[in-house]
A and B are shown apart, each in its own frame.
Chain A
Amino acid sequence: DQQVKQNSPSLSVQEGRISILNCDYTNSMFDYFLWYKKYPAEGPTFLISISSIKDKNEDGRFTVFLNKSAKHLSLHIVPSQPGDSAVYFCAASARGGTSYGKLTFGQGTILTVHP
């Protein structure tokens, strides 16, 4: 039972254009969402997060949008740069009990930005 899904295994975009990575979730208890970026042979690094009380959070070139009714979130990168080429993971956290601080990850999307 995959509670966090990233249905696109890969995405290829041209440098300078927008990259849009998508994520869907099924657990209605999830109320905090994060995006992590991972380079080969390294651990994931935190990129940006959003609480369910918001529908948008922006940090420089990165913006995360949350649509609670659709249980969908997306990460926009504008403009995309070759250094953004990495695997992007969507993650979600639920409130309460042993779920405190626990993250459920999606399968990841490989982003390739071409010069």
Chain B
Amino acid sequence: DAGVIQSPRHEVTEMGQEVTLRCKPISGHDYLFWYRQTMMRGLELLIYFNNNVPIDDSGMPEDRFSAKMPNASFSTLKIQPSEPRDSAVYFCASSEQGARNQPQHFGDGTRLSIL
């Protein structure tokens, strides 16, 4: 069974450019989460979806960040315009319905560097 798949694994781009990160959750999982990991703030939740609907986006840092989940097997996190302080590792995770006591399964992350 394939795990959570994220692409690209690495992204280097210049400040001001649009960045799109992609995630394919585990089939059958109804919850999808986007996290950001930095040295300063650790692993922080940005937004999560249930059945493709955004439930809590309170962790999204600002309007430059947006996330979508057009169907059960695909989600994107977009940054436009990007800034150097957005440099971080971005993780996507998914879990089954009743995610309350179900562990989240993480992808291997996208390492983003904004120059």
Contact = CB atoms under 8 A, between A and B. Distances in A.
Pairing of A with B: yes
Contacts of A42: 108-109
B46 to A, nearest CB: 11
Contacts, number: 55
Contacts of A45: 106
- Name the interface size band of chain B: 20 to 34
Interface stretch (B11-19, B61-69, B73-81, B95-103): B95-103
Instruction: Please name the 6 residue pairs, one residue from A and one from B, whose CB atoms are nearest each other, closest first.
Output: A43-B106, A101-B99, A46-B103, A98-B56, A105-B43, A107-B42
B42 A105 contact: yes
Interface of B: 4, 31, 33, 42-45, 48, 50, 55-56, 58, 91, 93, 95, 99-109
Interface string A17-45: 00000000000000010101000011111
Contacts of B100: 32, 93, 95, 100-101
Given A41-B108, A100-B99, A108-B43, 11 more contacts: A43-B4, A44-B43, A46-B103, A93-B100, A101-B48, A101-B50, A101-B99, A101-B100, A104-B45, A106-B42, A107-B42
A45 B104 CA distance: 8
A79 to B, nearest CB: 24
- Of B50, B103, B108, the most chain A CB neighbours within 10 A belong to B103
A63 interface: no
A114 to B, nearest CB: 25
A81 B73 CA distance: 37
A103 interface: yes
A95 to B, nearest CB: 8
A71 B74 CA distance: 38
B43 A51 contact: no
A89 B31 CA distance: 21
Contacts of A54: none
A41 B108 CA distance: 7
A49 B42 CA distance: 20
A61 interface: no
